[in-house]
Amino acid sequence: MTLPPRNGGDRPKRFSPRPTTPEKKPFSMRSGAPRTSQPVVAAKRALAEDGTEREGDRIAKLLARAGIASRREVERMIEDGRVKLNGEVITTPATLLKSLRGVSVDDKAVGPIAPPRLYRFHKPAGLITAERDPTGRPTIYTALRNALPEGTPRVMPVGRLDVNTEGLLLMTNDGELKRALELPSTGIPRTYRVRTFGDISQSRLEDLMQGIEIDGVRYGPINANLERSAGRNKWIEMTLTEGKNREIRRVLEHLGLEVSRLLRTRYGPFELADLQRGSVVEIPQVQVERFRKTLKPA
């Protein structure tokens, strides 16, 4: 990168990266051992000499936006030496690029970044929210193969629903949008309807707005309301913004209730509505873009 001459000098100043010392060889986080002597691509300089000008985006971010995987998964791919630029192994997710031209994953060329797309999927109970299951249990992709129209790009789930939870699961081809929708810091509310068995009062449910700690785990505020009751069988609507693993089940079991059905009905502004179990509907692009503009910075 060439910078303007300083103080009127006629020789441009050029940036030269500092040589890597033997103590700073590339290092594998998993094995703790130095990497093999494969050709590598070093990270480009993120800022100009004045500290203001960036050149491109991190490759992990670009690959996530291209739908290869989430940013965290892409970073693991880079760590494992699976990502290359013009045939050379990339060793750091901080590598800056202006496009994905010449980039390959597992020696397969990566296509250009497509516009972000978002889908509403009614996940049935009994499916694992994963691409594959080591024990052979059916996954959400078992249903998606039949539900998604031909030519749909690779899609990833936004967050997870456990095997026994059903309802709205958002799917997207954009890893950055997925990340933004999942982060607790964005404060996106998720609403569930829960069928329970046991005794509970509305006033006790309202205490959940203060948050609750269970077995050393702190859960944030939950807005919970009794919908209807038939003896000890009750339907409760619950809205939260964190979505920790099995959060609703653990909180209600802590209150002495048995959960017999758990259904997610809303994620942010997107509703399950009357979407049939196992069905998928694409959210119009104009709604996706409008929603993206409302997201808090991650």
**Residues involved in catalysis:** 162
Q: What is the rounded distance in angstroms from the CA atom of residue 87 to the CA atom of residue 104? A: 8
The torsion of the CA quartet 135, 138, 141, 147, rounded to 10 degrees, works out to 170
Q: Decide the pairing of beta strands 270-271 and 217-219.
A: unpaired
215 phi-psi bin (left φ>0, alpha ψ -120 to 50, beta other): left
3-state secondary structure of 179: helix
> Residue 32, by phi and psi: left (phi above 0), alpha (psi -120 to 50) or beta?
left
Tell me the torsion sign for CA atoms 145, 151, 154, 158.
negative
Closest to 263 (Cα-Cα) out of 281, 241, 240, 238: 238
Residue 248 phi, psi dihedral angles, 5° rounding = -65, -45
What residues form DSSP beta bridges with 123?
167
- Give dist(CA 235, CA 227) in Å, integer: 5
Contact, 162 vs 104, CB < 8 A? no
H or E, element range at 143: helix 140-147
